[in-house]
Structure 1
Amino acid sequence: MDPNGGEAWQPPKKGEKRQRPSNQPVEAAPAMKAGCELEERQPEVKKARLSSTLLYKNCEITHDQVCELLKYAVLGKSSIPKPSWCQLFHQNHLKKVVVFVLEGMSQPHFYRYYLEFEFLRKAFTHKFCLPPPSLDFLCDIIGLQKQQIAGDLSKPMEGSLSPTNPEGCSDLHRNPIIHKYGFNKVGLTRCLLTRQEMKIFNFPLQDSLDFEDFAPTQCDGSVTDSSPLFGLDCEMCLTAEGHELTRVSLVTEGGCCVMDELVKPANKIEDYLTRFSGITKEILKPVTTKLKDVQRKLQALLPPDAVLVGHSLDGDLKALKMIHPYVIDTSLLYVRERGRRFKLKFLAKAILGKEIQCPYRFGHDSTEDARTALELVQYFLRYGPRKIADTDLETLVIHQDLLAADPGLSSSAHHPPNTSVLECLDSVSQKLLFLTQETHDSELSSSSNCQTIKCLSNKEVLKLAREKVPFFPFSVIHFSFEPFSPEHTEEMSKRMKVKWAEMSAVYAGPFSQKCNRRDLKRLFKSFGPVQSMAFVLETYQPHLCVQYKVLEAAQLAIETLDGTLVEGTCIKVQRPVTELTLDSNTLVHELEQDSENRGTIYLAGVNKAFKEHLLQQSSHFSGLEALILPKDPQTGKQEKYCFLKFKTYSNAKKALSILTGTDWKLKGRPGLTPRHLQTWLRNSPQESSLLGLHGVAYPSEQQALQTLTLDHRKIAAWRWGRKIEKLYHSLCPGTLCLVLLPGTNSTNGSFSGLGLMGIKDEEESTISNMHL
């Protein structure tokens, strides 16, 4: 059901049964059915995309529903149910998730400064209401429960194997890990291979004659315990020259893959080693990247104090023909007796409780192997040698057949409904980046699976976001703004509703004294639902004042009738001129360009049989996503207007031309009011009627001048909209972005929040400066 009491119909998804809404038989014609199936039958489109179709059923989205989407974005449908309120197609092609939180702002703030937030309203196609925030808004949307907050870090990681040596320290002294590192936790620098160790294990070294033609990584900084870690793994093939590089993957500490390149070997390939690498002749055929290209990219990516992490990393560096002085090799970090080494697959299961290199997969995944090696180092640093020794790897490796991979028992196969986003990230070996101000104290910042960076100002949050976000697959960027006073927010909310009411009103005239008043009322009602209508007799000739329920109806009346002859008299149709309507033309123009309104059309004059008629003629309306048939909240009857949401701008333009033609006899124009805003306005008590528009108290001239001087928030809205735009443009394509204005609570009342979402580069083709 539509939030306004109306009915929202969407074309059925592939594989779903058509549901029959009350009193509304819905049977898609063959052309419509084919169009719906076509949407999901396009394997050549390898981009993640969102559909807002379900949003038309429910414009207010709960915090739990936002959490649903975020969890689905991390894990996909194999582990998490699909979101109940929107559709995310090709989730596996998402590159990143970035959530911007504008603390201290609500939906009224956004529309009070609508013109200043130009980028946000044009870039984000999908908008929705949020309920007023609870005590910790961030924990709500990340789905964090209090019992999930990290406390004792010595507690075993979920999914890891239990210690099998309870006998005490006496046996542990003989453990090779304890013998090398001792019982206490060690820092990153203690885990680095020394130059002597690198020489013993034949790592490429700067002054060695065997590696004279190797390229250095340009890393000559001073390494500390806080230096950044990068997981590295390569796949090779066999040529006449030996093993040559075919793929290289580089992963950051947050689990984000910043480099994954296929490489064309310089020599003829004799064996692709497909059973190990997954590389085939067909995969490498179109590749033009050479070893030199990869070397240059690595030199540019790695900071001066970067530490490379890998399993048997010497082979990877040799394949890359590169020299790097700071390395941690997990095959040597998890040291074994008599110089033997544990396999990466075994360590992943025994230490991390995760399956990698599963037999049903086609070769190894170098990104997964790089990430796993990185996690093993992070685990070692977090829990220390004692915990590793307690696990007794030597005993476990004897029974490794019992630990063989079982796809049906994957740790991420099933997640209970109350799983948090952090737990979902942890199950795929990823970490959340949380950037915030020092003043913000969220339980989110206490989580062990979240790298929290507290800053002194919003400016510093923005600066670090541009530096850190590329290295994390999931980021929360939290800006805190000076809170508005409850009185100011309440007054702003009230004035916004009055402004919309005034913009939805028109004065028309003059008419002759003998005009047919019934015909005039019928004429103006043909443009849309009327809240009130009355004749103004104070003027020399009668005028008509009409208060419409929706902004589109008023605008359509102005565009259609202003300057036309009605009963032999040229009339003027205009809005009431008040301080709140002086920028109406500008606002209407910008509302048409709002990304959510692109592809939406408003129609007046529809009847009860309109839906069936539309479906019968559906072949003329390609790309139809939703039909909104509002109902009168008092009577429950279907209104004589509707909204149609199309997939693209061109679909909507074509449909509007057909529907307003001679056959359909409808009146219409592009949509102006975003669905969530229309719902909020309709569900709110009317602040004024047309005959009492001036019931709101306007400020005096002195108050107005003071407001103009002190309204730094207007400037701040414009400035921060631009800053978020710059940060947005620095994100890679395929990034799911959410901008959340949490809303506000006070003793004076609660104010709804607002959410904006989209996938970068998702619908660029629909963004145009042209009008319908």
Structure 2
Amino acid sequence: MELETETIPRKRKGAPTSALATEPDLEDAEPKAKKARLSSILFAENHVVTHKQLCELLKYAVLGKSTVPEPSWCQLLHQNHLNNVVVFILKGMSQLHFYRFYLEFRFLRKAFRHKFSLPPPMSSFLFDIIGLQKKKSARGFPRTIKGSPNCENFILTKFNASITDNSPLFGLNCEMCLTSKGRELTRISLVAEGGHCIVDELVKPDFKILDSFTSFSGITEKILNPVPTKLKDVQELLRQLLPPDAVLVGHFLDLDLRVIKMIHPYVIDTSLLYIGKQSRRFKLRFLAKVILGKDIQCPDKLGHDTIEDARTTLELVRYFLKYGPKKIAELNLEALASREELKAASQGPEKKGGPTKPPNMSVLECLDSMGQKLLFLTRDIDELSSSRNCLTIKCSSNKEVLEEARVEVPLFPFSIVQFSFEPFSPIFADEVKQSMKTKWTEMSTVYAGPFIKNCNIGPLKKMFKSMGPVQSVTLVLETFRPYFRVQYEVLEAAQLAIETMNGILVEGSYIRVHRPVTEFTLECDTLVHELEQDCENQGTIYVTGFGKTFKEHLLEQSSLFPGLEAMILPKDVKRRQQKNYCFLKFKSRDSAQVALEILKGKDWKLKGRHALTPMHLQTWLRDIYPEPVMPSGLRLVPPLLEKHIFQIAEENHPRIVAWRCNRKIEKLYHCLSPGTLCLILLPGTNNTFASHPGLGLMKIKEEEESDPPGLGV
């Protein structure tokens, strides 16, 4: 299902086209004081924000548009009126946690209007978004062998021979993209020792591309569209081509082997072969220049040449084998690298009127340039290196993180508060995803009847469809009189059917319309009420029953609906047609209620109610796997599994953990000063069994928000 969004025009200068809607022009709202504000909706079709885009926002929040570019995915108005930035990281949690324990995250869903997905973390999440480095440990040549951690689902090459001095070398180089499931392969090149390229293939990722990394790879999503080759084809080809005693050569080879998901025990990584002091690893372009005297990866070319890079790694290995480590030490790579960096810095021209800071600066470096320190509160700092402009406070528990944060956070302009939790076990995560899919299906299903035995089915189907898009209508054969099972596409349609059709007279019979009674729908009324109160749903209504011209008709009469900001129009992907329902986004719930009454009063034959499904939740439900991949012969029932866990360790049950986490953030939030940009980040998880995308929530705390009773600071 695609979403088309029609933004209601406003008199506003410089509004980005990526935002669906914006706040009223604060510059015209004198004499009110300007306040930092976020755009009311982020963007239309893609709710996934990459770590790079998240970093863009944080740098802009620190420095402003005079020094760094504005974020490309959302709008932050009056950045200079921000007082603080606080980032809460819930390490070990993902979207799956948030939607599985939706009721427990009461404060987060009621306070934070802006939600967006994050891709699964592929490296250090803190480094990607802030620039906090991991400690570097001394490493030898990487050896990938059967049984290594995080490689249980990788494919083995056919290695069954010992290596000798005559074992053949093969240069391997890959390009990759970022998808909703992490990094995936887009191009692979394999070069034999003599320099002949034996494999050069474009590869189509299995999941939706979020970032093609075109500046590095030269590959675009358009180029990959017609490509038939998939990862499994590449794996099979390499198994056939590589001899049993092959030695793979590459630069940062561990990344290439992970992206092709293959295990091979005999490797040489040139980034480790020419390693510097304190485990510094040099770029391939630098090594090619100073060791081989050749220029590769030229800046005037779009993307890297994987064949050229693979050949270069082979040449570097041959050079090392010929001259040995003593010759490399005489070159003094550290001094040469420092000289190159100084030269590049002195030649970097600044654009007139543009940003004065390099766009690749980290948030930590931005703070340093402002003479400010980052506050970092966490339980897990053993793996992080120290930084001169970062005050790190290590705590013994999440409770201590909360206590320290309430004292220290108000004293710093930029803070990171990290709570750490155990992620779901792989089997439990699969069961949770399946139960969520089942729960939503049953909540969107109604039973209607009884009808007379010779009822006219055609008009009845039309009556059901008037509530919204129907996925299936099934005649129930186990009853004396006919009943129908109607599965709707959206929850709003099912709820509307219950509210408007239950108890009505149809062909001489008073019918009942209700949901199936199962373990998943026992507390459905509570969940529906809470969904209606979700901050993302405030001011949004669901409307169904209109024709093809409704969009134009509504836009022409938009003056009837004050406060209308946007129309969200779902499309049928297969038919490429607009569906006969939409969501209308208003500035406030009161404006939405007025519009709902006007729409029902008009002779437009429309039906509607307040929205129940946040757009972000719709996207997530559509993306989760309908069927989990389970080991053969193993079947687990979610309620029994949860009961089993609860009995073993009630205090550590995920539901209790989620409730306490929500409570901690609520307490901390009310300690923040007005004008604070607050981000809640559930980074997601990534392991050998499965990857789960993360979730972000954000808002700016306003002056009128007060501490609720019982939350004394």
Q: TM-score range by the shorter chain?
A: 0.5 to 0.7
The AA in structure 2 aligned to 1:526 is S
1:713: which partner in 2? 654
Paired residue type of 2:693: S
Q: Is the 8 A contact 1:743 1:751 kept in 2?
A: yes
Specify which of 86, 100, 121 is matched with residue 109 of structure 2.
121
Residue 643 (structure 2) aligns with = 704
Classify the secondary structure of the residue corresponding to 1:479: strand
Shift of 1:20: 13
Match of 2:357 in 1: 415
1:604 and 1:641 in contact (8 A); partners too: yes
1:98 is aligned with what amino acid? V
Measure the CA separation in 2 of the matches of 1:643 and 1:476. Answer: 36
Cα RMSD, aligned residues only: 3.1
Q: Find the counterpart in structure 2 of residue 368 from structure 1.
A: none
Map residues 10-25 of structure 1 onto 2, 5 A cutoff: 10-12=7-9, 14-16=12-14
1:738 matched residue in structure 2: 679
Match of 1:435 among 356, 361, 377: 377
Which residue among 405, 412, 423 is the counterpart of 1:465? 405
Asked if the contact 2:65–2:355 (Cα under 8 Å) also holds between the matched residues in 1, the reply is: no
- Whole-Å separation in 1 of the counterparts to 2:107 and 2:537: 15
Query: Quick one: structure 1 residues 12 and 91, their matched pair in 2 at CA, closer, same or farther if it must change by over 3 Å?
Result: farther
**Structure 1 residues 700, 622: CA separation in 2 closer, same or farther (over 3 Å shift)?**
closer
Matched, 1:449 2:407: no
| Partner residue, 2:29 | 42
Residue of structure 1 in register with 2:669 after alignment: 728
Structure 2 equivalent of residue 6 of structure 1: 3
- The AA in structure 2 aligned to 1:616 is E
| Distance (Å, rounded) in 2 between the aligned partners of 1:700 and 1:678 | 24
What's the offset of the Cα at 1:120?
1.0
Question: Where does residue 755 of structure 1 map in the other structure?
Answer: 696
| Whole-angstrom distance in 2 between the partners of 1:518 and 1:645 | 34
Residue 701 (structure 1) shift: 6.0
**Residues 146, 613 of structure 1: CA spacing in aligned structure 2 closer, same or farther, 3 A cutoff?**
farther
Contact 1:495 1:696 in 2 (8 A): no
Q: Distance in 2 between matches of 1:541 and 1:588?
A: 30
Report the TM-score when normalising by structure 2: 0.63
Could you tell me how far 1:672 is from its partner in structure 2?
Answer: 1.0
Distance 1:715 1:17 in 2: 43
* Match in the other structure for 1:677: 617
Aligned to 1:209: none
Give, in angstroms, the shift of residue 740 of structure 1.
0.7
Write out aligned runs for 1:63-462 (5 A).
63-142=51-130, 413-438=355-380, 441-442=383-384, 445-462=385-402
Deviations 1:440-481 (A, max 9, x none): 524xx5333221112221111111111111110000001111
Structure 2 CA distance for aligned equivalents of residues 723 and 508 of structure 1: 44
Alpha-carbon shift at residue 710 of structure 1 (Å) = 3.7
Distance in 1 separating the partners of 2:9 and 2:703: 22
- How far the C-alpha of 1:664 sits from its partner, in A, is 2.9
Q: Sort the Cα spacing of 1:558 and 1:83 in 2 relative to 1 into closer, same or farther, 3 A.
A: same
What is the one-letter code of the residue matched to 2:544? A
Q: 1:666 aligns with which of 592, 603, 606?
A: 606
Distance in 1 (CA, whole Å) between partners of 2:641 and 2:425 is 20
2:468 alignment partner in structure 1: 528
Give me the whole-angstrom Cα distance separating, in 1, the residues matched to 2:517 and 2:97. Answer: 23
Give the deviation of 1:685 after TM superposition: 4.7
Paired position in structure 1 for 2:592: 652
- Would the aligned equivalents of 1:738 and 1:757 in 2 still touch at CA under 8 Å? yes
2:446 alignment partner, one of 506, 512, 532? 506
**Partner AA of 1:432 in structure 2:** L
Residue 481 of structure 1 corresponds to which residue in structure 2?
421
Task: List per-residue Cα deviations over 1:10-52 (Å, max 9, x = no partner).
Answer: 235623599899xxxx9xxxxx9xx987455224242212123
* Structure 2 partner of 1:614: 554
Check conservation: 2:532, 2:538, Cα contact below 8 A: yes
Return the alpha-carbon distance in structure 2 between the equivalents of residues 37 and 126 of structure 1. 17
List gaps (5 residues or longer) in structure 2.
Answer: 137-349, 629-633, 709-713
CA 1:681 to 1:37, structure 2 compared with 1: closer, same or farther past 3 Å? closer
What's the CA shift for 1:105? Answer: 0.7
What SS is found at the alignment partner of 2:391? Answer: strand
Question: Take 2:470 and 2:27, find their aligned partners in 1: how far apart are those partners?
Answer: 40
C-alpha distance after superposition, 1:711-750 (max 9, x if no partner): 5221121122112111110111111111111111122211
- Rounded to whole Å, the distance in 1 between the matches of 2:54 and 2:469 is 33
| Post-superposition offset of 1:532 | 1.2
Letter in 2 for 1:419: M
SS in 2 for 1:630: strand
Residues of 2 paired with 1:476 and 1:706: CA distance?
31
Shift of 1:696: 9.2
Asked whether the equivalents of residues 79 and 413 of structure 1 are also in contact (C-alpha less than 8 Å), the reply is yes
Name the aligned partner's letter for residue 672 of structure 2.
Answer: L
Q: Could you list the per-position Cα deviations for residues 576-609 of structure 1 after superposition, in whole angstroms to 9, with x for gaps in the alignment?
A: 1111111110000001111111111111123322
SS at match of 1:596: helix
**CA–CA distance in structure 2, aligned partners of residues 476 and 503 of structure 1:** 38
Look up the equivalent residue of 1:743 and give its one-letter code: G
Q: Indicate how the Cα distance of structure 1 residues 100 and 763 shifts in structure 2: closer, same or farther if over 3 A, else same.
A: same
Q: TM-score, normalised by structure 1?
A: 0.59
- How far apart are the structure 2 equivalents of 1:38 and 1:702? 52
Letter paired with 2:72: S
In the alignment, structure 1 residue 540 sits paired with structure 2 residue 474? no
User: Structure 1 8/447 Cα, relative in aligned 2: closer, same or farther at 3 Å?
Assistant: farther
**CA distance in structure 2 between the partners assigned to 1:643 and 1:502 by the alignment:** 22
Matched with 1:253 is none
Deviation per CA, 1:98-129: give whole Å up to 9, x if none.
00000111111111111111111111111111
Supply the distance in 2 between the matched residues of 1:606 and 1:763 (Cα, whole angstroms).
Answer: 40
List runs of 5+ in structure 1 lacking aligned partners.
Answer: 27-31, 150-407, 689-694, 768-772
Quick one: which amino acid aligns to residue 699 of structure 2?
G
483 and 439 in structure 1: CA distance in 2 versus 1, 3 angstrom threshold:
farther
Q: Please tell me whether Structure 1 or Structure 2 has the larger radius of gyration of its CA atoms.
A: 1
Distance 1:82 1:654 in 2: 36
Q: Distance in 2 between matches of 1:587 and 1:41?
A: 40
Deviation at 1:65, TM superposition (A): 1.6
Q: Deviations over 1:366-413 (max 9, x none)?
A: xxxxxxxxxxxxxxxxxxxxxxxxxxxxxxxxxxxxxxxxxx999995
Tell me, yes or no, if the aligned pair for 1:49 and 1:89 is still in contact at 8 Å: yes
Counterpart for residue 564 of structure 1? 504
Contact 1:411 1:427 survives alignment (8 Å): no
Matched with 2:529 is 589
Query: Is the CA contact 1:143–1:418 (under 8 Å) kept in the aligned structure 2?
Result: no
Q: Is the 8 A contact 2:69 2:355 kept in 1?
A: no
SS at match of 1:590: helix
> What are the residue-to-residue correspondences of 1:26-65 with 2, within 5 Å?
38=25, 40-43=27-30, 44-65=32-53
* Structure 2 Cα separation of the partners of residues 762 and 503 of structure 1: 39
State the shift of 1:617 in Å.
Answer: 0.7
- 8 Å Cα contact 1:12/1:18 also seen in 2: no
Mark the CA change 1:610 to 1:424 in structure 2 (over 3 Å): closer, same or farther: farther
After TM superposition, give the deviation of residue 687 of structure 1 in Å: 4.8
Deviations 1:601-640 (A, max 9, x none): 1111233222211111111222222211111122221111
**From 629, 634, 641, the counterpart of 2:574:** 634
Q: Secondary structure at the match of 2:576?
A: coil
Is this contact kept in 1: 2:432–2:638, CA < 8 A?
no
Amino acid at match of 1:95: N
Letter in 2 for 1:738: L
Whether contact under 8 Å (1:56, 1:626) holds in the other structure is no
1:212 maps to none
